[in-house]
A and B are shown apart, each in its own frame.
Chain A
Amino acid sequence: MTSAKITSATIVPALEFRDVAKTFTLHLRGGVQLPVMGGADLAVYPGECVVLGGPSGAGKSSLLKMAYGNYRCDRGTILVRDGETVTDVASASPREVLALRRHTISYVSQFLRVIPRVGAREVVASAGREGGLAADRALARAEELLSCLNLPERLWDLPPATFSGGEQQRVNIARGLIAERPILLLDEPTASLDARNRAVVVELIRARQAAGAALLGIFHDTDVREAVATRVVDVTAFRQRQAA
């Protein structure tokens, strides 16, 4: 982990990829190499919503997963700034990555990993508590988010395992947004939502952006993308190693 002091006068990226490279080696397929990223350079500033573009398989999700510490990097650094602390996710210890996830980075994936027997409201509230909210505040905020995302109240106490794809996704969004961390990674959070709920998600994203969070996301829907993107970056350019 690297730490450095930053003066408050400079505007610095909240999240920065520097020459990040990643290749999957499939040992069970005779060691086939799947290059995903040859050299990614990207900076995301507070208040920005950078949308990743490029065809399917270009490495958009991989980039988000590397920023969250979910995938390893073969080369390069991924700097995450929170206040005056800078952490390189690519070289951070598991404990440092877990600390970043608690305080600094939220990640909303397409799918909810359901936990047996835990009700929707509690799934969301527990994420709030893990992010540092007091228990009563977490519960109140969970209810606010679920109603704002139009999840019927009769479902709140039920485990989401039996919910529809769209309902699960809304629980997942609430879970990812309840703790207001300075960096938000969004991997197709609106993929199975109807227009009404997509509009709600757009509003929630804009609110986080207005509050100064740095957002990096993948959005398949053109309407959502156009509504939230401050910048679109095509990741195809990251396939080849870039000149320093």
Chain B
Amino acid sequence: MSDALLQARGLTKHYGARLGCADVSFDLDPGEVLAIVGESGSGKSTLLSLVATELAPDSGSVSYRMRDGVMRDLSRLSEAERRALMRTDWGFVRQDARQGLRMAVSAGGNVGERLMGAGARHYGTIRGTALDWLAKVEIAADRVDDPPTRFSGGMRQRLQIARNLVTGPRLVLMDEPTSGLDVSVQARLLDLIRGLVAELGLAVIIVTHDLAVARLLSHRVMVMRAGRVIETGLTDQVLDDPAEPYTQLLVSSVLAA
């Protein structure tokens, strides 16, 4: 008997003749952090888009345990159900904050908007909750009315996190949330994510090319190459005792500081 939160089965996607990803299956438990690692073009972002139902697979399925405990095939949800799920019970933190935020709306508005999308109507409550969350992600109160166009890269990512977590999701997808940031900014963001994930018991699927990020955040890791999962297991086991030639290459290519 499985009590998985999410089950992916046989996910396959081609872009024309080119393979995106092939026959990927996995289970994700509540509170579990799964890292998908691999180099550019390995299919990890395609896989994440399939899980997020932003891409339709050629074959395969994704099922999710809804809040009522029933496992549903996501492709069978109505559009209204799917949208409700994505804006309340799921979060998606993107590499490019411009895709995850409304750049012309204030920071407070970005967080409040998602709360309203989840059904909140009382302005005072919305503003109060938004402020709480901005404080949690270390955005100073005097920046609440600024739009994210005036934020640094690290602040934008923290704002994305607040926007996603404000509705109390059970599953958060993250696509390279720390890449492109200065290392000190990256460390701060990683630590913030690590703390929030543990505190809130979130299930997370994080796509990263950075093995250190996978080690710091994840319980389990899937290594992808050329669209296929080539190795999977406990994160420290895969990183400390990699079995596949390609995983050994990835692990040995990391520069030690």
Contact = CB atoms under 8 A, between A and B. Distances in A.
Contacts of A70: 236-237, 240-241
Nearest to B34: A94
B212 to A, nearest CB: 10
Interface in B200-227: 216, 219-220
Nearest to B253: A28
Given A27-B248, A70-B237, A71-B241, A94 B187 contact: no
Nearest to B236: A70
Interface residues of B, number: 23
Contact of B243 (A72, A95, A117, A126): A72
B136 to A, nearest CB: 15
Size class of the contact patch on chain A: 10 to 19
B191 A71 contact: no
A197 B105 CA distance: 57
A27 B245 contact: yes
B182 to A, nearest CB: 13
Contacts of A126: 198
Nearest to A115: B191
B233 A71 contact: no
Contacts of B216: 115
17 contacts: A28-B249, A69-B237, A70-B237, A70-B240, A70-B241, A71-B240, A71-B241, A72-B243, A94-B219, A94-B233, A115-B216, A116-B187, A116-B190, A116-B191, A117-B187, A117-B191, A118-B191
Interface of B: 29, 32, 187-188, 190-191, 194, 198, 216, 219-220, 233-234, 236-237, 240-241, 243-245, 248-249, 252
Interface of A: 24-28, 65, 69-72, 94-95, 97-98, 115-118, 126
